[in-house]
Amino acid sequence: MPAMRYRLGLDLGSSSIGWCMVRLNHSNQPCAIIRMGVRIFPDGRNPKDGSSLAVTRRMARQARRRRDRLLKRKTQLLTALVRLGFFPKDAGERKALAQLDPYVLRRKGLYEPLSPAEFARALFHINQRRGFKSNRKTDAKDKERSLMKKAINELRERLRQEDCKTVGEWLARRHEQGLSVRARLRGRTAKDKAYDFYIDRSLIEQEFDTLWEIQQGFNPDIFTDQARDELRDILLFQRPLKPVKPGRCTLIPEDERAPLALPSTQRFRIYQELNNLRLINPDMSERPLSLDERDKLADLLEKGNLTFGKIRRTLNLDSTTGFNLEDEKRDRLKGNATSLVLRKAACFGEAWDRFDPAWQDAIVEKLLNEPSESVLMHWLTENTEINSEQAETLANISLPEGYGMLGRQALARILPELRKAVVTYDKAVTNAGFDSHSALSHFQQTGEIMDRLPYYGEPLQRHVGFGTGEPDDPPEKRFGRIANPTVHIGLNELRKVINGLIEKYGHPSEIIVEVARELKLSRRRKQEIEKEQAARQKRNKALVKEACEILGYEPNHIDGAKLRELSQKMQLWTELNPRDVVERRCPYTGEQISINKLLSPEVEIEHILPFSMTLDNSLNNKTVCLRRANREKGNRTPFDAFGKQAVEGYDYDGMLQRARHMPRAKAWRFGPDAMQRWLRDEQDFLARALNDTAYLSRIAHEYLTLVCPQVRVIPGRMTAMLRGKFGLSTLLGDSPTKNRNDHRHHAIDAAVIAVTDQGLLQRFAKASANAREKQLDRLVENMPLPWPAYQEQVQRAVNTIRVSHRPDHGYQGALHEATAWGLRKDGKAVRHETPEGGGSRKARIKSADAMIPISSTGDPERHGKDVDGKPRAYKAYLGGSNYCIEIITNEKGKWQGEVVTTYEAYQIIRKYGEDKGWKRLRNPKQSQSGKPLVMRLMNGDMISMVNNDTRCLMRVCQIKRSKSIIFAPHNEANVDARNRDKTDPFSYISKTPGSLQKSRARYVTVSPIGNMKVYR
């Protein structure tokens, strides 16, 4: 039996994958919906600020390790001091030494002999706060560390002025005067912040050496060189920083990416930008720079940034000449940031420009990689003929951070090609000998299709960081991974979905993917966009309010479509001339458009480049104009309508002048070559509409071609519009817009994506042209469905979707909350809180029954012992999350719940070891208490139960310590926010183990492709 031919549509989001299988007929055209589904998973980021969850975990882990190392060092020092004869062996005697004032001893030891025990007491105190160890590679980037270094330098000067031999002597004087001996950061604002003083590790090193030398003179028998070396090593040992390994070069994967600070990387960026720069003439035509013009600007950029105004003056251009890289947010080209710093007189001065490029790169490599300031200064003075003051300045400068996409070898081959001629990056790459083999799919290269998708890091090596290469390591560690956690998780989940579909239905004949915009953006860019959107929404709200006041409307009583039209009209009207409301004129006739005229039927929204030719419905392709001008223009570009030949009442040159007041992304569309520029290198507008060339889209394309030769990644501009035209927006509710509160909307988008091919877009463009020709008020006329039963089949498939949620079965997590509570004798716990605005502290008292008690491990006698003879707990923490709830049957056959906290899960792993402990936690037949297990539920797990006389599929959202379990239907999205929203009809479903039994609950699993397995 031949394999079924089908096309797979994928909607790839930051925390979701919607998919739709469409059967292909003998003509390779889509003809029927086979199946649809949705996979939901966490994106690995904090929902509040978008930061990686790994960062939070890493910071907590670093704090734990810092403390562990301090305790280990204290233990090592204590053991060595006892063994070498400085501290007494008896713990009681050592404890009595704690009464000695260490500051007095640290000063006394500089002038008088100390007993071995007194010296040990002083040294143990020094070890408690052994000072800040500078690392020049990180200090320059850290504002707080720069404050520390400033305070350290000031402290050194004070030691010299006050004639103190060591920092210990200086601290002893402060202690004697009742002044603080701890470094405190004062001030609230960036200007005011400063440390009173700060101690450097080298000051501690100097104090130890001085004390030892003096005491060795008094008592050489115990203060031996061997003892000094051992104690000094314990006191001053510092773990070397683990270097951050750069990613792979995208052209030569074996090579590491080059730092952005390298002069060669800076020049690569400069020449790439200059070669991409286009001059825009008053008639909106454009041209690249000539070689002479380009080289002139490149020389200036070596010395600093270059404003577009200065570029015009340098090249003797008219003030009306624009540039494609110039807009409201960007008024300059960035120069060579590294050379700009290193050329300063305090660094290398004019000598920097006399160094050849290879030597400049070598110097910057040394500046970036040498951790020791003294070693770097010595190297600079020996190799570059600068003085010690310049070397010290260079050791503390800040250079551009991060890495580019290319390695040193690729840069060495491509940069000369960029300099040789005014060519774009892709042509320079080809000229440098990098052929297009890397752009070929796996099938094109090998003629083979893989049975399954492997871990993405194996085939996509040029996109991931370096792995260990060890066969025994897990795939992520062995092959490396993409640093972005959202992309990493998304590609792994994509693999599960694709492999699940292949296993059940065979390989797809075609795959069409749409990658969500948020997946393609960096965290910083996302934040910038969110900020811009918030500002735009605020501005649009004010504009709509103004329009409604003129029209006499109540904004809350206007339907959504009319509100959107008003908002767009006002926004487009503002863009006609943002600076001068009087000069807001019809782009075509030049007649003034007042706000009253704007809101009348006399003015319409129109597409500058015809929608039927571009399928571009963005605001950048829209403007407002007089109704009669819109009719005259018809389904043509502004140039075709008014520029090719004179039209009475219309002045094309005047149009171009008016267009110059508009945003640059809109203005060029009025030019004579607008359609050619819009198409760029594509053969036609359909090719552009069917191809997304963003970086992440290329990765998704490259990955999926391992199992399917025919893969297209589409931009997604058309999906929302086609969904509405096909009548799919109302499938999940009555609203004409997409219902984002139902996860199944991802599958509906996938159903649109699956049919978005050249034939469909041609029909859509034709329907748009027909509507324009008949002067209809709608965008398209009689848009045909992909096939007659398409809408009904989508509805049926949506109704059968079981949304697959990735469950959280790991035991890792916060063991408890961060704040400690003091334990009282009455079994209560107390915590004192200071109000935010200040004032007296208030005590909060809670029962300690559900808290995690902590006893002292270092000194068992410190807080006494309990009735069992064990160290008494002296503090407690509120528990963190719950790992699971185990539903068991009691003697009467009734269901009961036993909650296992994350802390308890950790204890089981710790007691039995990783393998045995994990098997015990996941034992499907036995609970932790040994009672018969009905089911074990964790967050994200699914159950089937009867609710309101209907068997429903539910997802576990929360497990409470009270043994109640919070559920939501499998398809419901944004549940936490909606449950808190009193206006939203949605609310969680809360069940106890007993009520679950009455609801005839069954534990189920839903595979990544939505196959359900029921457990009895």
CA 314 to centroid of chain Cα atoms: 40
pLDDT at 586: 95
Largest CA distance in the chain: 111
| Full strand arrangement of the beta sheet holding 1002-1006 | 989-991, 965-969, 950-959, 942-947, 1002-1006, 1012-1014
What burial letters (b/e) apply to 174-198, b meaning 16+ CB within 10 Å? ebeeeeeeebeeeeeeeeeeebbbb
Q: Shortest CA distance to 102 belongs to which of 85, 88, 84, 114? A: 114
| Side-chain-side CA neighbours of residue 196 (13 Å) | 9
How is residue 430 written in tokens? Answer: 């080809």
Each as own residue / partner, the long-range contacts of residues 425-432 (CB below 8 Å, 24 or more positions apart, any chain) are 425/272, 425/275, 425/276, 428/275, 429/251
pLDDT at 442: 61
pLDDT at 1: 47
Range from 153-162, 286-295, 651-660 carrying the lowest mean pLDDT: 153-162
More confident residue, 437 or 614: 614
More confident residue, 524 or 587: 587
Share of the chain above pLDDT 70, in %: 85
Q: Please determine, for residue 118, whether its predicted confidence score (pLDDT) is greater than 60.
A: yes
Q: Please determine, for residue 14, whether its predicted confidence score (pLDDT) is greater than 70.
A: yes
Query: What does 888-903 look like in DSSP terms, one character per residue?
Result: EE-TTS-EEEEEEEHH
CB 947 within 8 A of CB 972: no
| Side-chain-side CA neighbours of residue 677 (13 Å) | 19
For residues 466-470, average pLDDT: 83
More confident residue, 943 or 821: 943
Residue 673 CA: distances (Å) to CA of 85, 290, 655, 803, 942: 90, 20, 15, 48, 57
**What pLDDT digit, counting tens, does each position of 261-282 carry?**
999 999 999 999 999 999 988 8
CA distance 434 to 431: 7
CB 973 within 8 A of CB 876: no
CA 495 to centroid of chain Cα atoms: 21
pLDDT at 866: 63
Residue 339 identity (one-letter amino acid): S
CB 52 within 8 A of CB 44: yes
Can you tell me whether residue 190 is helix, strand or coil? coil
> Interior CA angle at 1008 toward 1007 and 1013, to 5°?
10
Q: Shortest CA distance to 70 belongs to which of 10, 129, 3? A: 129
For residues 33-48, average pLDDT: 83
| Side-chain-side CA neighbours of residue 210 (13 Å) | 19
pLDDT band at 325 (very low <50, low <70, confident <90, very high): confident
pLDDT at 484: 80
CA 615 to centroid of chain Cα atoms: 31
- Can you identify the CATH homologous superfamily of domain 1-65+483-521+682-801? Ribonuclease H-like superfamily/Ribonuclease H (3.30.420.10)
Residue 728 CA: distances (Å) to CA of 31, 271, 752, 788, 790: 17, 48, 9, 14, 10
**What pLDDT digit, counting tens, does each position of 352-374 carry?**
999 999 999 999 999 998 888 88
Ranges of each domain in the chain: 1-65+483-521+682-801, 85-221, 257-431, 545-679, 804-812+881-1016, 816-879
End-to-end CA distance of the chain: 36
pLDDT at 329: 78
pLDDT at 752: 93
Q: Please determine, for residue 819, whether its predicted confidence score (pLDDT) is greater than 90.
A: no
> Interior CA angle at 13 toward 11 and 16, to 5°?
90
CA distance 794 to 798: 6
pLDDT at 29: 92
Size (the chain), residues: 1016
More confident residue, 740 or 50: 740
Query: What does 54-102 look like in DSSP terms, one character per residue?
Result: HHHHHHHHHHHHHHHHHHHHHHHHHHHHHHTTSS-S-HHHHHHHTTS-H
pLDDT band at 681 (very low <50, low <70, confident <90, very high): very low
Helix boundaries (H) for 790-901? 790-799
CA distance 225 to 787: 91
For residues 602-630, average pLDDT: 90
CB 169 within 8 A of CB 112: no
Q: Please determine, for residue 534, whether its predicted confidence score (pLDDT) is greater than 90.
A: no
Average confidence score pLDDT of the chain: 85
Q: Please determine, for residue 333, whether its predicted confidence score (pLDDT) is greater than 80.
A: yes
> Interior CA angle at 872 toward 867 and 876, to 5°?
130
Q: Shortest CA distance to 755 belongs to which of 798, 795, 784, 796? A: 784
CA distance 223 to 122: 14
Q: Please determine, for residue 320, whether its predicted confidence score (pLDDT) is greater than 70.
A: yes
Range from 200-209, 262-271, 563-572, 762-771 carrying the lowest mean pLDDT: 762-771
CA distance 10 to 765: 23
Q: Please determine, for residue 649, whether its predicted confidence score (pLDDT) is greater than 90.
A: no
For residues 812-817, average pLDDT: 72
Q: How many CB atoms lie within 10 A of CB 474?
A: 11
How is residue 233 written in tokens? Answer: 């090593």
Q: Shortest CA distance to 726 belongs to which of 741, 748, 746? A: 748
pLDDT at 683: 47
**What pLDDT digit, counting tens, does each position of 825-860 carry?**
776 777 776 665 555 666 677 766 666 676 655 555
Residue 153 identity (one-letter amino acid): N
pLDDT band at 437 (very low <50, low <70, confident <90, very high): very low
Q: Global pTM?
A: 0.77
Residue 989 pairs in a beta bridge with: 967
Pairing of strands 257-259, 403-407: antiparallel
Q: How many CB atoms lie within 10 A of CB 784?
A: 14
pLDDT at 282: 83
Q: Please determine, for residue 876, whether its predicted confidence score (pLDDT) is greater than 60.
A: yes
Helix boundaries (H) for 198-262? 201-218, 225-236
